[in-house]
Amino acid sequence: MKQGLHPENYRFVVFKDMSNGDAFLGKSTANSKETIKWEDGNEYPVIKLEISSTSHPFFTGKNMLVDTAGRIDKFKKKYAKK
């Protein structure tokens, strides 16, 4: 395997699903300016996700519409009959 191919600065971060508020702790190299106090009492950087396995219909078995950015409203406004 090639040396120096993978980043070395992995750290613990909290991934937060913005559609349902679920959060989980994992490792990442992604940068974040926001932090959150986790269940263990420590503060970790937060990476915000639009959708995760806790809200995706494939994993939940439910058909639910996730509209975090107001895409449907933007579409209706743009193409509304005048």
DSSP characters for 12-75? EEEEEETTT--EEEEEE----S-EEE-TTS-EEEEEEES--TTT-HHHH-------SS-HHHHH
pLDDT in tens, the chain (82 residues): 788 888 888 999 999 988 788 899 999 999 999 999 999 999 999 998 877 767 765 556 666 555 556 677 777 888 887 6
CA torsion angle 26 43 34 8 (round to 10): -50
Residue 79: enclosing H or E segment and its boundaries? helix 71-79
pLDDT of 79: 85
Identify whether the C-beta of residue 30 lies closer than 8 Å to the C-beta of residue 24: no
- Write down the pTM of the prediction: 0.64
pLDDT of 61: 64
